[in-house]
Amino acid sequence: MQKIKLTIDDRPVEAAPGQTILEVATRLGIKIPTLCHDPRLKPFGACRVCLVEVEKARTLQTACSLEIQEGMVVRTNTRKVMDTRRFILELILSDHPLDCMTCDKCGTCTLQDLAYEYGIKESRFFRSPQRGIAPDPNTMILRDDSKCILCGRCVRICDEVEQAEALDFINRGFDTVVGPAYGDTLLGTTCEFCGQCVSTCPVGALREKQAEGKGRDWELKKTQTVCAYCGVGCNLFLNVNTRTGKLVKVTSEVGTVPNNGNLCIKGRFGYDFVHHPDRLTQPLIRNAECGVRSAESKVLNSEIRIPKSEFREASWEEAMGLVASKLLEIKKKHGPQSIACIGSARCTNEENYLMMKFARAVVGTNSVDMCART
40: left (phi over 0), alpha (psi -120 to 50) or beta: alpha
Count of residues for the chain? 374
Choose among 148, 150, 93: nearest CA to 119.
93
Mean residue pLDDT across the chain: 91
Confidence of residue 300 (pLDDT cuts 50, 70, 90): very low
CA distance 86 to 217: 26
DSSP letters for 153-166: HHHHIIIIIS----
Q: How far is CA 132 from the centre of its chain?
A: 24
The pLDDT tens digits of the residues spanning 110-166 come to 999 999 999 998 888 888 888 889 999 999 999 999 999 999 999 999 999 999 999
Q: Quote the pLDDT of residue 296.
A: 44
Helix (H), strand (E) at residue 26: helix 21-28
pLDDT above 90 (res 304) = no
DSSP letters for 308-353: GGGEEE--HHHHHHHHHHHHHHHHHHH-GGG--EEE-TTS-HHHHH
The predicted model gives 220-240 an average pLDDT of 92
Query: Minimum mean pLDDT among 23-37, 259-273, 344-358: which range?
Result: 344-358
Choose among 150, 167, 148: nearest CA to 159.
167
- Check: CB of residue 358 under 8 Å from CB of residue 368: no
CA distance 360 to 369: 12
- Strands in 201-322 per DSSP E: 206-208, 220-226, 235-241, 247-251, 284-286, 298-300, 303-305, 311-313
Q: Quote the pLDDT of residue 122.
A: 85
Burial of 180 (0-12, 13-18, 19+ CB in 10 A): buried
Q: Give just the sign of the alpha carbon dihedral 238, 241, 245, 247.
A: negative
Complete domains list, the chain, with CATH: 4-77 (3.10.20.740), 95-211 (3.30.70.20), 217-269 (2.20.25.90), 280-314 (no CATH), 326-374 (no CATH)
Higher-confidence residue of 231 and 295: namely: 231
Name the pTM for this structure: 0.82
Q: Return all residues near 191 (Cβ < 8 A) that are at least 6 apart.
A: 141, 158, 164, 166, 167, 180
